[in-house]
A and B are shown apart, each in its own frame.
Chain A
C-alpha cells in the first residue's frame, strides 16, 4: 500500500494507554477544525470536528481540545488499540470557507502490543 508520512513525528504508545496528539494551527480566524486518520493505502478518514465556539468535544474514545489563545488543538485517544496505528492530521478551514481545508504536517501513531 501507500507509504504515508515516512518522515513524520512519531508517537509510540503501549496498547491500552491513552494517546495525546498535538497540533498548532496557523490562522487565528479559522472557525472549524477537524482531525483525520490516514492508514497506509487509504485516504484520510474523519475522526472528530470542533467549532471555534467550543473548547472541548468528545466522541467515542476520542476527545478534541481547542485552545484558541495559543492556536493549539489536541486529540486524545483513550485506551489506544493496535487499529489506531496510523498517521493523524489536524485540519482547519481556509478563510472560514466551510470544508476547504488546510492540513497540518501529521503525526504517526504507533501502538505497541
Chain B
C-alpha cells in the first residue's frame, strides 16, 4: 500500500452533473497530481498542486478544477459531466515537485451515463 487513499472507489453520475473526487496524500507529501485513465490507455496528466497552488496543468478543459488543502489532501472537481469523462481517476502524491517518486492511490472509477 502506498498510503495514498482516494474516495469514493466507484461512482455513477448522469451527464451534465458535477462530481467531486477526494485524495488523501501520503504523510509528509506536499505535492499532489491527478490523472485520468481511460480504459485500455495510460494515465493522462490533469494537473498538479504544490502547497495549495496549481503548479502545472495538462490538456484538460476548465471544467476540470482542483483544490489542495493545508493538510495537503486534494479534491478534483468536474463540472458538466460528459460521457467521455468516464474513466479511472488517479491521484499521486510526492515529497515535492522535482524528480521525486510519485505514489499512486487505487483510483476512483467514474461512470457517466
What is A's interface to B at a CB cutoff of 8 Å?
Answer: 2-8, 32, 36, 41-46, 49, 51, 89, 91, 93-94, 97-106
Contact = CB atoms under 8 A, between A and B. Distances in A.
A71 to B, nearest CB: 16
Contact of A44 (B44, B100, B104): B104
Interface in B61-110: 88, 90, 92, 94, 96-107, 109
B106 A42 contact: yes
Contact of A100 (B33, B40, B41, B96): B33
- Contact residues of A: prevailing secondary structure: loop
B42 A100 contact: no
Interface size grouping (class) on chain B: 20 to 34
B16 interface: no
Contacts of A98: 96-100
A43 B99 contact: no
A44 B93 CA distance: 12
25 contacts: A8-B40, A41-B106, A42-B106, A42-B107, A43-B2, A43-B4, A43-B90, A44-B104, A45-B2, A46-B103, A49-B99, A89-B42, A97-B56, A99-B31, A99-B98, A99-B100, A99-B101, A100-B33, A100-B45, A100-B56, A101-B45, A103-B43, A103-B44, A104-B42, A105-B41
